[in-house]
Amino acid sequence: MPTFTGLSCLSNAAMLKKITVDELRLGMYLHGLCGSWVDHPFWKSSFELRSAADLTLLRESSVRECWIDVSKGLDVVPAAAPPELPASLPVVLAGASAAPSRIAAPAAAVTLKEELGRAAVLVNRSRAQMKSLFQEARLGRSVDAEQCLPLVADITTSVWRNPGALVSLARLKTHDDYSYMHSVAVCALMVSLARQLGHDEAQAREAGLAGLLHDMGKAMMPLDVLNKPGKLSVAEFDLIKSHPLRGHELLLSGTATPAMALDVCLHHHERPDGKGYPFGLSDDALTVSARMGAVCDVYDAITSNRPYKNGWDPAEAISRMTAWAKDGQFDLKVFAAFVKSLGVYPVGSLVRMRSGRLAVIAEQSASQLLKPWVKVFYSTRSQMPVPLELLDTSDARCSDQISARESNEVWKFPHLEELWAGREALAATAGSR
């Protein structure tokens, strides 16, 4: 039996393959190690890799290449195309830190699964409160910002425990309650973004209140225009574009509306390149808060089902927004922090794995944007469901990785939301979907 020491690794056997140790996975048959025998971490060179400890030991050794026998064990996972992300994404992300800084957390972190139940209850309460707020505004009553503070405090606490839970659940909304739940979703997104930018709890609550009230001007728009299923006429679009001004007037007429809420309400449709509305402001004329509101507003709008179109997959939305950011629609630093707060593949995204299986993003990794937890559920090769498997793709021992985004507009899986949220959380938010 050859030991393949030194540089004399032979490849005349058809079933032998030379690979790097990083390509090794459990179930492979190790036929030989390349390098000096003194570098080998094992007393033998040929055996089936069954132990994760052995795999870690080998990867941490000075041996960089080895031979496997594919007739006796698993083969290398077929190479796949890199994730379908815009080339500009690394540039966009370069300016933001990998983790939040200088944060005094108001709540201990928990897993997505642990937070979903509490977030579901909060979604229902938020929907009811925002519906009442919008109805009062339509009746000509002023908005009392202070009455929203307890709700914003609860949303902030939930986001601090786990940003993905409430943000992801609030994305699931029907045409009828879009305006109410859009406000709740943007509130949660603003809190999450503020957290990523290093704001403290009080600053995050202020950002959340601005998100909750940013679209109050929609309450002053005719419902037949607001919910029109077809394309708006020029006159109708001009009317809709007046909602930041109308909302600003409404908040000014109320009591105790903070300056940030007024700013975000008036300027969340402005753009750094000057192509936004209502004033066409650009660059230094826009505050960080307005830039934050612009990003959060667009993300929730394009990932939500609307009367005139279905929402995009969250990962597809991030991909498209990356290109828009490069073209000047968003502040690059703010958008980079936003991506880091959600993940390149946000919770609920549909992805294809290198194995050919499909999976839904179940939770973000604490350290790696491109390697979240995924729940595998379907084989594209057999065109059949497979047993559910939860994988941590950031774990070096994980044998499968994300290769591309997928669109559920193509696959039309009816149970995709249930896979990541669970039946109980979805049932609890049934009134908002």
Residue 112 exposed, middle or buried by CB count within 10 Å (0-12, 13-18, 19+):
buried
> What are the start-end ranges of the E strands in 193-322?
none
**Per-residue pLDDT for 104 more than 50?**
no
Domain ranges of the chain: 16-69, 89-342, 350-432
Question: Packing angle between helix 332-342 and helix 163-170, nearest 10 degrees?
Answer: 100
Q: Please give the CATH topology (third level) of the domain spanning 89-342.
A: Hypothetical protein af1432 (1.10.3210)
CA distances from 303 to 306, 320, 412 (A): 9, 11, 16
Pairing between strand 350-353 and 373-379?
unpaired
**Per-residue pLDDT for 395 more than 80?**
yes
pLDDT in tens, 324-370: 999 999 999 999 999 999 999 999 999 999 999 999 999 998 878 88
In this structure, which amino acid lies at residue 330? Answer: F
- pTM exceeding 0.75: yes
Note the pLDDT of residue 86: 61
Percent of the chain scoring above 90 in pLDDT: 61
* pLDDT band per the 50, 70, 90 thresholds, residue 11: very low
- CA torsion 7→56→23→61, rounded to 10°? -20
b/e map 351-379, b = 16+ CB within 10 Å: bbbbbbbbbbbbbbeeeebbbbbbbbbbe
pLDDT in tens, 128-181: 999 999 999 999 999 999 999 999 999 999 999 999 999 999 998 877 788 889
> Residue 203 corresponds to which tokens in the numbers above?
């600053």
What are phi and psi for residue 221, nearest 5 degrees?
-90, 145
**Which residues lie below 8 Å from residue 285, measured CB to CB, with a gap of 6+?**
none
240 vs 217: CA distance, rounded Å: 9
pLDDT in tens, 244-301: 999 999 999 998 899 999 999 999 999 999 999 999 999 999 999 999 999 999 999 9
Question: Packing angle between helix 112-138 and helix 178-196, nearest 10 degrees?
Answer: 130
Compute how many other C-beta atoms are within 10 angstroms of the C-beta atom of residue 321.
22
Note the pLDDT of residue 300: 96
